[in-house]
Chain A
Amino acid sequence: DQQVKQNSPSLSVQEGRISILNCDYTNSMFDYFLWYKKYPAEGPTFLISISSIKDKNEDGRFTVFLNKSAKHLSLHIVPSQPGDSAVYFCAASGSSNTGKLIFGQGTTLQVKP
């Protein structure tokens, strides 16, 4: 049972344009969502997060949008840079007293110069 899904395995955009990465979830008990970025041969690094009480969170070029009614979140990167080329994972957390995260399968972003 895949509770967090990233339906696009890959995405290619031109440098300077917007990158939009999507994520869907099924469990309405999830109350916190995170995005991680992963380069080859490295562990994932935390990028940005959003609580379920918000619908938008911004950090520099990165913005995460949450649509609770649709159980959908997205990560916008504007403007995209070649250094943003990586695998992006979305993750979700329930309201239990643990740090357990449920990850999506990841989307490989390629930003072309």
Chain B
Amino acid sequence: DSGVTQTPKHLITATGQRVTLRCSPRSGDLSVYWYQQSLDQGLQFLIQYYNGEERAKGNILERFSAQQFPDLHSELNLSSLELGDSALYFCASSSNDRNLYGYTFGSGTRLTVV
């Protein structure tokens, strides 16, 4: 157990729907990162939050949004889902706003859009 909790582990939904992925960071960590891993691809950076504020943004689609709450957990909202959104979504956390000692990743949420 890495200490980073992602729920749900698996999600199957239809095109056009909206889903919310949840991440609880490791205790004491202030930064939360979201990554997408599509088939045969590396991890693509989506967005970073640090202590409730957006810190960095990657190639995140406009249909996707995220936030970090006062208790530091984060949610990634995916709307108007398309088949191509099927992927593994990873959340990671770190104690600072950089990655000096590497992130701690959760085990991911596998999203399947049918």
Q: Are A100 and B58 in contact (CB under 8 A)?
A: yes
| Minimal Cβ-Cβ distance residue in B for A39 | B107
**Count of B interface residues, CB-CB < 8 Å:** 31
In whole angstroms, how far apart are the Cα atoms of A96 and B98 in the complex? Answer: 9
Q: Using a Cβ cutoff of 8 Å, how many contacts connect chains A and B?
A: 75
Contacts of B33 on A, CB cut-off 8 Å?
A: 99-101
Q: Which of B40, B45, B100, B107 contacts A100 (CB 8 A)?
A: B45
Nearest-neighbour CB distance to chain A for B55, whole angstroms, equals 5
> Is residue B84 contacting chain A, with contact meaning CB distance below 8 A?
no
Query: Closest residue to A51 on the B side, CB-wise?
Result: B100
List residues of B whose CB falls within 8 A of some A CB: 2, 4, 31, 33, 35, 40-45, 48, 55-56, 58, 90, 92, 94, 96-108
Listed by A's residue number, 5 A-B pairs whose Cβ atoms lie within 8 Å are A43-B2, A43-B92, A89-B43, A99-B33, A101-B33
> What residues make up the interface of A, taking CB atoms closer than 8 Å to B?
4, 6, 32, 34, 36, 41-46, 49, 89, 91, 93, 96-106
